Every structure is written in C-alpha cells, then in structure tokens.
Amino acid sequence: MEQHGDVETAAELLARAQAWEEFVQLINRHASSWLDQGKHSLLSQITGLFPLQISDSLPWLFYWRGMASMPADPQTATLNLEQAYAGFDKTGNKTGCFLTLGALIEAGFSQANPVHLGLPWVEKLQQLVVECGEFPSVTVEATVLASLHAFVHILPHHPLVIAFEARGDQLLSSDITAELKMKMGLSLSWLSLQQGDFSRTRAITRQLTPLIHTAHPQATTRILWHITEGNLAWLTANFPLAMDKFSEGLNQSRHAGTSMHDCRLWMLGISCALAEGNPNDARMHLEHARRSLHDPQNKLIQAELNGLRAGVKLLEGNVSSALQAAREGLTQAEETGACFLAASARIGLAQILIETGATEEADNQLTHAIYYADSTKACLLKCRALLVAAYAQLRIENEFAATNMLQEALAIAARHITLLPISGGDPESCRFCCRARFAME
C-alpha cells in the first residue's frame, strides 16, 4: 500500500496487525512531508491509531502528535512534546532532543505567557549545543532554527538568536528542503526587519520568493511570507505594495480555509492606513483584527493591538483614549517580558505624551527605549526614538537639540539603509517624520 502512495491505508493495516514497530517507522518516513504539505490533521489521525499504553515508550509518537497539534493548539502540543523530550533524553537520542526542544520553543513562544513558557526550553537548547558541540546534521540545525520565528519576534537580542543569525546565510545555501529554507527565511527576515537592516531583508526575500511559485510551500508559510513582504514594504514607505501583500495574504488565507494568521494580516493593514493618515480604514482593520484574534488571553498580541489602537485614536484626535491605549499596551508588553515590544511601546507612548505636553514623562520613556536599543544594538528602535525626541524638542522650539538628534538618527540610518515610519499621530508630527524619512532616503 505504502509503495503505491496509500500511506493512510498502510498505517491502518499495520495498526490492526499490531505491528507497532513498522507502524512507527512508517510515520517517521512520512510525517515531515505531511507537515510540509499542511496535513496536520492527517498526521494527528494516524498517530491517534497507536494505543496510549504502548506509545508511552515511543517518544517519536509524542513528537509527531505534538507537531500535528502545534498550529491550532500549542498548549496540547507542549504536553505531547514534553513527553517526547523526556523519552529522547532518557534514551540519549540527541536528534530527537534537538528537534523536540526547537518545537517546544515554538510552542512556548506561541502562547499567552511566551517568555515564562518558552525561555526554559531555550536554556535547555543552549545547554545541549554546548554539550554536543554541534547539531547532529544540517537538516536538524535548520529545522530547529526555523522553529525560532516567534522567539525572534519577542527576544531578538537573545544570544541564541545572534548565533542563529551568524549561521543563517550558510544554512540557506545548504542542501535542505525548499519548505525548510522558507521557514528559516521567515525567521531571518523578521530579525533583520526588527534590526532595521532592510537591505538584508530584501536579499533574503529575493533569494527565496521564487520558491513560492516553484516549490509550492504550505499555505501558512505562504501567508507568513506575504506578511513579511508587506512589513518590509510598509517599513520602507511603499504603502501600495504593502497593501497588495496584505490583500494577497488575506486571499491566500481564505483560499486555504485557515484564519490562523488573519490577525497579523489585519495589523499590517492598520499600520498602512495609519501611515497614510486614513483613520476610517485603520478603524475598520482594527475591528477585523480584534475579531480574528484566536487567543484573547495572549497579552503579546493584545499589546501590539493596543499600540495600533493608540495610533488610530491619536489620528482621530482623541488624545486621552490614545494615551490610555498606549499605557495598556506598554503594561501588557512588560508583563509578557517582550523587551523589544516594550521598548517600541515606550516610543509610541512618548509620541502621545508629547501631544499632551507631558514632555518630562515622554523624555523618560524615550530614555528607557534608547538604553535598550543601545544595549542590544537595535538601530531601528534607536532611530525611531531619536525622531520622536527630535520632534519633542521642536515642539518646545529647541531647534538646536532637535537638529542634533535628527542628525544622529540620520547617521545611524545611513549606515543601515533604514527608513522609519511612525505608527500614527497628528498631522504636524506626521509631516515632521515624513520629512525625516525623505531626508534619509
């Protein structure tokens, strides 16, 4: 049956015959391919044929069960993966340990309390790398690093992320599957976006975008790729292209019958509408984003949505509501331990505080953001903070200080080929930031 492509029937026959060793071998041969094709439900169904009392001694079954439930239910995935890791660790299976730790990091950083749940597994992975000296194979290394997308988004300054970045280009050129290259490319490009290194992001997307048409990656990978391309276009002030990517992502989501990443897509739409000064579209996209949020308890996403809501309210002229949303967003970001997001939220809050005349508190928020940016070499954050600080100085007619801050931002931007959108604001601050962007360009 398997030789003729009917793997599902072959699995059922092996299960009826209780040929469990052959059953596990069959799953190991095909599970990765099913996941690449987005057939998570099929993998879940087949692994469910195995009796629980027997599977306790077979960590690969728990690993594949965890991977099958990962996209829709990271909590259930974590339970299965923890059992898999315990089994692999007990038997000394290093390949299994590496793969499971990567999956546990992905699952942990996809939940409501990401740093608390994910960071212990990051530390175990670092310990395993030190213990082994290297990964068992290039494919295992690439698979683990491709699992770090959510981790990169939350803690881009972490030493593991820095090590990942150093290996990225070499792994992208290695002999791994196209699906794996695209997943790695998502993590690398998102990291370079956060760093403000847009030329690197462009290089990665140019290298890997053709694979969408030739390798036919799974729908979720294509959707995330559209989000990445859209964010690159937005961050470089190409708003029509960003909206095209937003529309392509939504169409792909509807065609595939999955809404898993719809909230991220609508957030891209909000950012574009704010940058174009369109409060009506921004408000509409914000409502869609709220409705498409899968886990209302996820403070990380809530923090980002509150930051965008603050931009919408500020663009509408409702400064008090904008201030409230910005404060809520910062609190939520700090509670999750997402340092990069918290620093970004401080910059957004400072921009609103300036409009209320609370320049001392705004300066305090910007000082904290710049300190984080300097300590982690986050040039994009520092440029944004300097632009807002320069605008604050201009508001109090201190043109000398404003000029110095703008010149510092321009110098950083020139080294990293960075353009800087601001999340939203009153027409005067938007005009100031637009002039700064054009000067950098």
Give the model confidence (pLDDT) of 212-268 as tens digits: 888 888 888 899 999 999 999 988 888 899 999 999 999 999 988 878 889 999 999
DSSP 302-354: HHHHHHHHHHHHHHHT-HHHHHHHHHHHHHHHHHHT-HHHHHHHHHHHHHHHH
With a cut of 80, say whether residue 438 has pLDDT above it. Answer: no
Cα 281–Cα 287–Cα 292 angle in degrees, nearest 5 = 125
Range ranked top by mean pLDDT from 95-99, 189-193, 200-204: 95-99
Q: Domain ranges for the chain, please list them.
A: 295-441
Higher pLDDT among residues 325 and 437, named by residue: 325
Contacts 24+ apart (CB under 8 A), 365-371: 366/392, 368/343, 369/343, 369/344
How many angstroms from the chain centroid is the CA of residue 434?
27
CA distance 234 to 243: 8
How confident is the model over 197-223, as a mean pLDDT?
88
- Count Cβ atoms within 10 A of the Cβ of residue 408 and give its class: 0-12 exposed, 13-18 middle, 19 or more buried: middle
The whole-model pTM stands at 0.84
Name the architecture of domain 295-441: Alpha Horseshoe (1.25)
With a cut of 70, say whether residue 402 has pLDDT above it. Answer: yes
SS3 397: coil
User: 66 with 77: CB under 8 angstroms?
Assistant: yes
What is the model's pLDDT at position 441? 38
CA distance 278 to 333: 26
- Count Cβ atoms within 10 A of the Cβ of residue 369 and give its class: 0-12 exposed, 13-18 middle, 19 or more buried: buried
Angle between helices 198-208 and 178-195 (to 10 degrees): 170
**H or E stretch including 167?**
helix 159-172
With a cut of 70, say whether residue 272 has pLDDT above it. Answer: yes
- Count Cβ atoms within 10 A of the Cβ of residue 409 and give its class: 0-12 exposed, 13-18 middle, 19 or more buried: buried
Which amino acid is present at 351? Answer: Q
With a cut of 60, say whether residue 18 has pLDDT above it. Answer: yes
Looking up tokens 């937003």, which residue turns up?
246
Supply 211's token pair. 């694979």
SS3 155: coil
State the average pLDDT for the chain.
86
CA distance 98 to 84: 11
SS3 356: helix
CA distance 5 to 420: 51
What is the model's pLDDT at position 434? 44
Q: Half-sphere exposure of residue 181, counting CA atoms within 13 Å on the CB side?
A: 22
How confident is the model over 344-348, as a mean pLDDT?
96
With a cut of 60, say whether residue 423 has pLDDT above it. Answer: no
Higher pLDDT among residues 49 and 108, named by residue: 108
